[in-house]
Structure 1
Amino acid sequence: MNEDQKVNASGLPRDHLEAASAENVSAAVSSQTPVVEPEPELVVNPWDIVLCTSGTLISCENAVVVLIICHNPSLRAPMFLLIGSLALADLLAGIGLVINFVFAYLLQSETTKLVTVGLIVASFSASVCSLLAITVDRYLSLYYALTYNSERTVTFTYVMLVMLWGTSICLGLLPVLGWNCLQDEATCSVVRPLTKNNAAVLSVSFLFMFALMLQLYVQICKIVMRHAHQIALQHHFLATSHYVTTRKGVSTLAIILGTFAACWMPFTLYSLIADYSYPSIYTYATLLPATYNSIINPVIYAFRNQEIQKALWVICCGCVPPSLLQRARSPSDV
């Protein structure tokens, strides 16, 4: 044995003793140093990203409509007030979806959850109620064509706006005021923290409004067909022209009502039959089409309107195309 491997009094080689001493010092230091656990990795649900993206698109699209109506004094007729109400409701719905995404991953608390869900419920309720108000307004403009532009119609429009926004705000405040499932998880609906009873009230209200809209659009179809027939007789149009005009008007109404039903009906029916125990993927899959309705609404109700088209052309290009100035309104433009 050489000098470095001589055994000391403990019977261990010197290099073994040095290694053991180093291990003891390391263990002592580590025992005094607090153990820092790694922070859990933030996992973002892809469905939430899609909803946030939809909310951003909804906000931008409807903000354009709101700005156009607010900055054009000529757009103050009852029809434009209701279209503005619809755009404002959809704008708030889009903002609510974005805020909900931010709070869910950056500021997680029960209070923020209640506030954001209340905002989403109120805004989407106002959107659906505004669609019903627009349907009522279109029916009245056709049924009472001679007296529609009176002061009475303006007053009735303001009354409808106050009622629909008041009702929507009340529905949005219910979760904040205590009608939520935070204290009893078993009462939760597919959208936490809404209770099953709260979701059922919203779903039944939607089905009632959809049935009312369907009835009104059936009556509108009858009026459109009668007006188209009268115009054809007065101007001695051919039967084929009358048929084409009528079919276009009915097709437009079918697209409006069919789009509304296709977007909202899946989530409405799912909310009635499901509860919190169902897989969340079904909630996302039915809720996402409902948000698409707020994307489609400006296209159907705002950007198809000739006056709004003119205002948009003036803002973007500073002029109005001659084709838009010469186009006349037909019975199919309902």
Structure 2
Amino acid sequence: MIVPLATAMSGSGITQNTTSTTTFDPSSLDPWLDPYPDLPGVNSSSSSVVPDLTSTSNLDLRPLNSLQDVSPWDVALCVTGTIISCENALVIAVLFYTPTLRAPMFILIGSLAFADLLAGLGLILNFVFTYLIEGEVVTLVSTGILIVAFSASIFNILAITVDRYLSLYNALTYHTERTVLFTYLMVGLIWLLCLILAILPALGWNCLDDKSACSVCRPVTKSNAVALAALFLLVFALMMQLYLQICRIAFRHAQQIAVQHQFLAISTTKGVQTLSVILCAFAICWLPFAMYSIVADSSYPVIYTYAAALPAAFNSVINPIIYAFRNPDIQKGLWLACCGCVPSNLWLRPRARTSSDV
């Protein structure tokens, strides 16, 4: 906006006055005799006026985002990303440095923790790219990281739910059929699918050239946002169905064993309550953002997008608490890593034998 303004001034009366002075040679003057050598408009020559206004070498070309006030919503997302990164980095460290935590269920927990760690780093990078760096490339990179991270987090939660169901449905053959290799293959397929979803905006499925086609999350198009939201709703429906089947199996087992009926009834009730909390937390965090992505577009107030996105990001904060820190084996690893000892009440607790114990 500065260069066109200077161009307009060079075509006004300033240029006309300087071109009319044909008998005066400004180069014959000693520059040390000029009392105001750096003030444009004081010198009568065109060489001292137009170059100062049209030259961009002395202009502040910082991005506009670096000059505006920082949004508190972006600060909240950045702080959330920092908490997510710290929590899940701790989970990954415990799983990596504890040789006994190599069962299939711990592989799934580690994959979920890595996805949430990537989500936290993506939120931090998004804040940096928004206020310090500007460009289409960094926008696509930030969007790709967030898509692959949050989609992998959701699919890993679905994989853990499937693993819980199989551990109860095939309780006798679970440990022989559920091999580590099979778990690694399933995790690999999850990350491959999420990477494909993440690179779609970079392959041209974006709204950088057509702002009217943007969804609530630029540069994702409206159609792509609807597809991702529909995929999430499908995952949520599968999780609900699997958790209902888990509850039915658990109650049937409690009825079949008459001797331990009271003990199993109490245990089953607690398990159903735990599954209800897990499912409700997942729904509260992600359903508002999914539904809002379907009905809204870029013309909606941005504060609504922040209000829906912040709970979705908070789901990665509670995932380590639900799936990792409640596990007795991981708790022992945390105590050993932090204090070098394990409380006596943890030693008396049984090891988590299946993913249903997670």
- Please indicate the TM-score interval, normalised by the length of the shorter structure: 0.7 to 0.9
Match of 1:265 among 287, 300, 317: 287
Whole-Å Cα distance in 1 between the matches of residues 91 and 39 of structure 2? Answer: 66
Contact 2:213 2:222 survives alignment (8 Å): yes
Match of 2:267 among 232, 245, 249: 245
Whole-Å Cα distance in 1 between the matches of residues 284 and 85 of structure 2? Answer: 21
Opposite residue 258 of structure 1, the aligned amino acid is C
Alignment of 1:1-334 (within 5 A): 29-31=39-41, 32=48, 34=52, 41-150=67-176, 152-230=178-256, 233-235=258-260, 238=262, 241-328=263-350, 333=357
Tell me, what secondary structure is at the counterpart of 1:234?
A: coil
Whole-Å Cα distance in 1 between the matches of residues 136 and 264 of structure 2? Answer: 59
Q: CA deviation at 1:26?
A: 5.9
Whole-Å Cα distance in 2 between the matches of residues 85 and 201 of structure 1? Answer: 24
Whole-Å Cα distance in 2 between the matches of residues 171 and 80 of structure 1? Answer: 25
Opposite residue 56 of structure 1, the aligned amino acid is T
Q: CA deviation at 1:88?
A: 0.2
Pairwise CA RMSD = 2.2
Whole-Å Cα distance in 2 between the matches of residues 37 and 172 of structure 1? Answer: 37
Judge which range, 89-98 or 320-329, deviates more. 320-329
Q: Provide the residue aligned with 1:18 in structure 2.
A: none
Q: CA deviation at 1:113?
A: 0.3
Opposite residue 85 of structure 2, the aligned amino acid is S
Whole-Å Cα distance in 2 between the matches of residues 107 and 92 of structure 1? Answer: 20
Gaps of 5+ in 1: 1-23
Opposite residue 281 of structure 1, the aligned amino acid is I
Contact 2:144 2:199 survives alignment (8 Å): yes
Gaps of 5+ in 2: 1-33, 42-47
TM-score for the superposition, normalised by structure 2: 0.80
Contact 2:329 2:351 survives alignment (8 Å): no
Whole-Å Cα distance in 2 between the matches of residues 28 and 305 of structure 1? Answer: 71
Residues 1:161 and 1:28: Cα distance change in structure 2 (over 3 Å): closer
Whole-Å Cα distance in 1 between the matches of residues 270 and 38 of structure 2? Answer: 86
